[in-house]
Structure 1
Amino acid sequence: MLDSVHFDLDRISPVPLYYQLARQLEAVIDQGALVPGDLLGNEIDLSVRLGLSRPTVRQAIQLLVDKGLLVRRRGVGTQVVHRQVKRPLELSSLYDDLEAAGQGPTTEVLRHEAVPAGAGVAAALGVTEGAEVTVLERLRRTHGRPVASLCNYLPAGLLQLDRTRLESSGLYRLMRSAGITLHSARQTIGARSATAEEAARLDERPGAALLTMTRTAYDDTGRAVEFGTHIYRASRYAFDFQLLVRP
């Protein structure tokens, strides 16, 4: 709980106190010392404890509310919603990563149908343009709040899928259970602003920062088994990777 957390605020630093407090609160949430559902406590009590003005504490809390880490609930107080998901850059399913991080993932299937492959999808999957492929559109939530919008294309007949299976498991887990061995992927990560439609879907403001990922995954025979285009809320999601110096 917050009573046991120590805050180290530098009162002579040019960095504003509200920002220092917000960063340290964010670190506490990210490290798991505060978990979803924990209450932050009364602003007045926190300001007295830290020797800060109430507006300073309120500004720090508002910064984390805006980032989606905290939420103010009438009659309850300020509550931790989640910690930011940091996903390793490896060939893994978002569902599995969220589940491993204790984020309680849920999936809403928005679209599941056979469509003719456009030029880009055909090139990625190595099929003829206009050939039938399966398209999946899903909205992934953690603790009831949207974190990512996923669009995936699969070669026709690759998997027997239904809404129940798609809502209860990750796509790569379903592939593995069908005997498909994932081997490698080509992936591109970027960033852009949310359109009005994307913002509404992800519970963000139009123009909010989004992370983007485009990936083509291959099985152990070299066959392309999935082409995905995903968008993530930058306030709730980050890619985490390690860089090595080439000898």
Structure 2
Amino acid sequence: MSAQAPPPHPPVPELSVDRGSPVPLYFQLARRLEAAIEGGALPPGSLLGNEIDLATRLGLSRPTVRQAIQSLVDKGLLVRRRGVGTQVVHSRVRRPAALSSLHDDLEASGLRPETRLLVDRLEPARAEVAAALGLPEGTEVRYLERLRSARGEPLAYLRNHLPVGLLDADAEQLEATGLYRLLRAAGTTLHSARQTVGARAAAPGEAAALDEPEGAPLLTMERTTFDPTGRTVEFASHLYRASRYSFEFQLLVRG
């Protein structure tokens, strides 16, 4: 029986570059490829072929194409597969800097979030947690640890501390929906938050949970959330895969 020919590469969408622009051609190509991935014109699994094939189809030099592809490989949008060529992995999840839950943001992006509850216990608040929640050190608080996934792969490692008695959700509810939705259903109004975003290397356990190599870059987010009276209702300390996730900020010019 003869071997079946591999499927043809899907047509690459219009990726014209401006050769008279001072912006490097590789950067223009990378931006247009990224836009095609984010917009769905190049869905996950799409094959772009090898660099020679892609350069020929786009009328660009091989070094230009190689540099553009490498920039998107570094972002986690493309992957090189031996014998196959360059393949679209997926678009990165982009989260706005707003008081919303990751679960709701994923749903709004058309993705189906999946949550695995790792820890749900009562524990004495250490100094940092007590200060964030406005409680005496050692006060009993509810501690949650969850792993949030989308597209069948982990995106975020979520750690939350809550005042005892604020939320009575069980494991099934905590895995079925987002924490903020549960808090609102329980009668808590979320008014504002103080948030800090940073980055650090993944520790061994975190790397294993997030399917990243040890020491891989992770985005960090700490958030203290308040109700309209100024009472603290949550202290969150979350980790996100930098290769799959980013925060977006809208900045206003003053002066």
Q: TM-score range by the shorter chain?
A: 0.7 to 0.9
Give the match for residue 47 of structure 2: 40
Is residue 2:177 matched to residue 1:164?
Answer: no
Q: Deviations over 1:21-80 (max 9, x none)?
A: 43431222123333334x124336434312356686566545534432234678987543
Give the match for residue 4 of structure 2: none
Amino acid at match of 1:164: E
Measure, in 2, the Cα distance between the counterparts of 1:139 and 1:246.
39
Is residue 2:95 matched to residue 1:87?
Answer: yes
Q: In the TM superposition, what are the counterparts of 1:26-175 in structure 2 within 5 Å?
A: 26-37=34-45, 39-43=46-50, 45-52=53-60, 57=65, 60-61=68-69, 63-71=71-79, 78-175=86-183
Q: Which structure has the bigger radius of gyration?
A: 2
Give the match for residue 218 of structure 1: 226
Give the match for residue 240 of structure 1: 248
The structure-2 alpha-carbon separation of the partners of 1:72 and 1:193, relative to structure 1 and needing over 3 Å to count, comes to same
Amino acid at match of 1:175: L
Is residue 2:29 matched to residue 1:24?
Answer: no
Q: Deviations over 1:90-129 (max 9, x none)?
A: 1110111111112322112111111111111111111221
Aligned residues: 246
Taking structure 1 as the reference length, what is the TM-score of the superposition? 0.85
Structure 1 residue runs of 5 or longer lacking an equivalent are: none
SS in 2 for 1:182: coil
Give the match for residue 201 of structure 1: 209
Taking structure 2 as the reference length, what is the TM-score of the superposition? 0.82
The structure-2 alpha-carbon separation of the partners of 1:120 and 1:216, relative to structure 1 and needing over 3 Å to count, comes to same
Measure, in 1, the Cα distance between the counterparts of 2:146 and 2:84.
32
Give the share of equivalent positions with the same residue, in percent.
Answer: 65
Amino acid at match of 1:132: E
Is residue 2:190 matched to residue 1:182?
Answer: yes
SS in 1 for 2:106: helix
Amino acid at match of 1:160: D
SS in 2 for 1:204: coil
- Indicate conservation of the 8 Å contact 2:116/2:148, yes or no: yes
